[in-house]
Amino acid sequence: MNAAPHATTPLGPDRPSGPLRIGVLVSATGANLGTLLDLRDREPDAFDVCLVASHGTTAKALDVARDAGVETWTGDFDAHCGLASRATTPEDALRYRRRAREWHDGLDARIAAWEAEHGALDLVVLAYHRWIEGALLDRFRGRMINQHPADLSVLDADGGRLLTGKDPVRLAMAEGHTTTRTSCFVVDGTQDGGAVLCMGPPVDVETRQATPDDAWEQELRQKTLSDRPCLEWTVRAFAAGRLALGADTHADGSRTVLIDGRPTALGGKRLG
């Protein structure tokens, strides 16, 4: 580990008592949202899913939230920003990035106004297919986490994370990995580069190959067997004040994670 110019940073709610108040940004089916709602239903005195927002209007997760009685916001990110796949020139990419930041700054302002009326959110969980910069990330820095369907402790020859970005399950399978697992990390503006708090249990690849269909089947199994326990452990640890970021960094530049005051290796808590 390398020295870094940081003080130890506790992660967790800065309030005396009450349930952990969670906001969720969603894009797809609502699997991670379902994990959080199950926690809420089992332990309402400890966890509360207060708000769900999406960048679009059709995500199945929105219906999951509505059925659970959670306030739900839709959006039209693509109308404001365009599509990242069409930003083919540096100028287009810069314009897209600026508009995306503006869109999320607007979402942050709306959340802030909502919090003034309904109370502050302690934690924002991403199950979200858009890049976040600007005021939203700044205000929830250290209080925003994301799930990534890969082992983010695997590094390449240059010390960077190997399994980042899109399609990491298939990439892991193509690299010959016999298991895959989910990582939960602190969102910090890098591309899947934040401090890894927890990794879910490894899921055997078995006879599946690195094809789109097999990789999707593997990812679906991983959602149940690795995503769910990974997210649940992380949210519980966050609520209990067990987590902090240390003053050192790992080889990939991410800060060390302290659990109950003790530093962990890259990957944080490893389940299974």
DSSP string, 16-30: SSSPEEEEEEE-SS-
Count Cα atoms within 13 angstroms, Cβ side, for 81. 26
The pLDDT of residue 7 is 81
How far is the C-alpha of 100 from the C-alpha of 131, rounded, in Å?
A: 8
The pLDDT of residue 2 is 47
How far is the C-alpha of 21 from the C-alpha of 124, rounded, in Å?
A: 9
* Prediction pTM value: 0.95
Residue 78, number of CB atoms within 10 A of its CB:
13
Q: Which domains does the chain have, with CATH numbers?
A: 2-270 (3.40.50.170)
Note whether 226 and 219 are within 8 A (CB).
no
**Residue-by-residue pLDDT tens, the chain, 272 positions:** 444 456 889 998 877 679 999 999 999 999 999 999 999 999 999 999 999 999 999 999 999 999 999 999 999 999 999 999 999 999 999 999 999 999 999 999 999 999 999 999 999 999 999 999 999 999 999 999 999 999 999 999 999 999 999 999 999 999 999 999 999 999 998 999 999 999 999 999 999 999 999 999 999 999 999 999 999 999 999 999 999 999 999 999 999 999 999 999 999 999 99
Nearest partner of 244 among 227, 268, 228, judged by Cα: 268
The pLDDT of residue 13 is 82
Parallel, antiparallel or unpaired: strands 262-263 and 255-259: antiparallel
Question: Dihedral of the CA atoms 183, 20, 113, 103 (nearest 10)?
Answer: 10
178 sits in the region (left: phi over 0; alpha: psi -120 to 50; else beta) called alpha
The pLDDT of residue 12 is 86
Angle (deg, nearest 10), helices 31-42 and 228-239: 50
